[in-house]
Amino acid sequence: MEAFLRKLCPSGTPGYAWSAPGSSGGPHRGWGGLASLGPRERPVLEGTLFDLASLTKPLATALVALRAMDSGDLDLDSPVPGTNAPAFSFLDLLRHRAGFPPWLPLYGFIPGRGDARDWLSRHCPRSRLGRAEYSCLDYILLGLVLEEALGAPLDRLFRERVAKPIGLTDKEACFTPHLCNVTDVAATERGETREAIMARQYGTHPPAFLPEGEGPGIVNDGNARFLGGVAGNAGLFGSLKAVEILADAYRPVGGFLSPGTLDLAWTPPAAGHGEHRSAGWRVSPCAHWSVGAALPRGAIGHEGYTGTGVWLELPPGRTYILLTNRIHPRHPGTDFGPVRVAFLDAARTLA
């Protein structure tokens, strides 16, 4: 496995961390390469935090929502208040079934975070309700309405309802690590980001990073950065250990979620159209998901723009984790799907 991942450095990704099941029960794990290419090179260490990008959706936002359901603080089937017809529920947002487009630059439509809830609820164009189609906007709105329903910012909800109960500190998993005195963070893009090219189509550009042009600990996703680094779609940073523990929250062992709530995460609805999406995850088999074809039926998984991925086989199956900073110092413009598939194929040889 190490030989396979070293081949990615630096042409495919500067640095990486990974975890896969071992035949003796415990996981094989490793890390290597560079967290930053300069001006001062920094190696990836065991505790290096990676920008988890869209893994924020299942590992933070969905866990907050599902945990709130178990505690009786939230009815996921209830309609989200204050939205235009047709109405949709919290569970529709969790399953990407509320009809939002895959992506739009919020910063091109509204002046600040305080306007995001209303614009998404009342003004953002939506298409067919009930058709599962991946959308960052679903989870941005979900994060905002969770804050409203549960009475606290999303980063605090994650810390108090998820991280602390399963034994994680801010040094291992948090939003805005640059504000939490966490310095061992893998760098992402420098200069003009790939998102900036996309945003120009809407006559806008993403919020800037730090003055020096990049920000280890500053979320790479422009919408999340616009929202202050705390958003339902992106913004979580985590170490390999943290991602292992958060992924295990979706296993029956440990009882972090009740059996009925776990079923929402593992099983897509019987009726519906579009992709196979559960609460927080993609479910294999799923159309147009190259990684899903490498997983057994019923497995769940999610990937992140920065080069991250978590995949879980049905209980008591195996969990695979790959964290990279492949977009540092700039996005290579290639599809990372084949690398993820090759990682899964190699990881299975370790089991």
One DSSP character per residue, 15-39 reads: EEEEEEE-TTSSEEEEEEEEEE-SS
The answer as to whether 37 is a domain residue is yes
Distance between alpha carbon 187 and the CA centroid of its chain, in Å?
17
Into how many domains does the chain fold?
Answer: 1
Lookup: tokens for 348: 């299975």
Looking at the DSSP bridge assignments, the partners of residue 311 are 301, 320
Q: Can you tell me the distance from the alpha carbon of 192 to that of 277, in angstroms, rounded to the nearest whole number?
A: 33
Q: Judge whether 121 and 80 are in contact, CB under 8 Å.
A: yes
**Crossing angle of helices 259-266/62-70, nearest 10°?**
150
Q: Can you tell me the distance from the alpha carbon of 137 to that of 113, in angstroms, rounded to the nearest whole number?
A: 14
User: What is residue 27's predicted lDDT score, i.e. its pLDDT?
Assistant: 74
User: What is residue 217's predicted lDDT score, i.e. its pLDDT?
Assistant: 86
The answer as to whether 102 is a domain residue is no
**End-to-end CA separation in angstroms for the chain:** 12
User: What is residue 213's predicted lDDT score, i.e. its pLDDT?
Assistant: 47
Q: Can you tell me the distance from the alpha carbon of 10 to that of 324, in angstroms, rounded to the nearest whole number?
A: 11
The answer as to whether 103 is a domain residue is no
From first to last of its 351 residues, what are the pLDDT tens digits of the chain? 888 888 888 788 999 999 998 655 567 999 999 999 988 899 999 999 999 999 999 999 999 999 999 999 999 999 999 999 899 999 999 999 999 999 999 999 999 999 999 999 999 999 878 889 999 999 999 999 999 999 999 999 999 999 999 999 999 999 999 888 888 999 999 888 899 999 999 999 999 876 544 567 899 999 999 999 999 999 999 999 999 999 999 999 889 999 999 999 999 998 777 899 999 999 999 888 989 889 999 999 999 999 999 999 998 889 999 999 999 999 999 999 999 999 999 998 886
User: What is residue 26's predicted lDDT score, i.e. its pLDDT?
Assistant: 66
Distance between alpha carbon 351 and the CA centroid of its chain, in Å?
26
Strand extents, DSSP E, 207-256 = 236-238
The answer as to whether 30 is a domain residue is yes
Lookup: tokens for 95: 């399953």
Q: Can you tell me the distance from the alpha carbon of 73 to that of 160, in angstroms, rounded to the nearest whole number?
A: 14
Q: Which residues of 26-57 are buried (b: 16+ CB within 10 A; e: fewer)?
A: ebbbebbbbbbbeeeebebeeebbbbbbbbbb
Nearest in space to 133 (alpha carbons), one of 93, 90, 84: 93
The answer as to whether 96 is a domain residue is no
Amino acid at residue number 242: A
Nearest in space to 62 (alpha carbons), one of 104, 91, 98: 91
The answer as to whether 282 is a domain residue is yes
Question: Whose structure tokens read 């422009």?
Answer: 222
The answer as to whether 148 is a domain residue is no
Lookup: tokens for 173: 């998993």
**Nearest 5°: phi and psi at 319?**
-120, 135
CATH of the domain at 223: 3.40.710.10
Domain span at residue 228?
2-56+153-348
Q: Can you tell me the distance from the alpha carbon of 239 to that of 182, in angstroms, rounded to the nearest whole number?
A: 11
Lookup: tokens for 229: 């680094």
Q: Judge whether 169 and 239 are in contact, CB under 8 Å.
A: no
User: What is residue 2's predicted lDDT score, i.e. its pLDDT?
Assistant: 81
Long-range contacts of 284-289 (CB under 8 A, 24+ apart): none
User: What is residue 9's predicted lDDT score, i.e. its pLDDT?
Assistant: 82
Q: Can you tell me the distance from the alpha carbon of 287 to that of 268, in angstroms, rounded to the nearest whole number?
A: 14
Which 3 state secondary structure label does DSSP give 337?
A: helix
CA atoms within 13 Å, Cβ hemisphere of 65? 32
Specify whether the backbone of 273 is left (phi greater than 0), alpha (psi in -120 to 50) or beta.
beta
Distance between alpha carbon 315 and the CA centroid of its chain, in Å?
21
Q: Can you tell me the distance from the alpha carbon of 79 to that of 41, in angstroms, rounded to the nearest whole number?
A: 49
Angle at 288 between CA 130 and CA 299, to 5 degrees: 80
The answer as to whether 133 is a domain residue is no
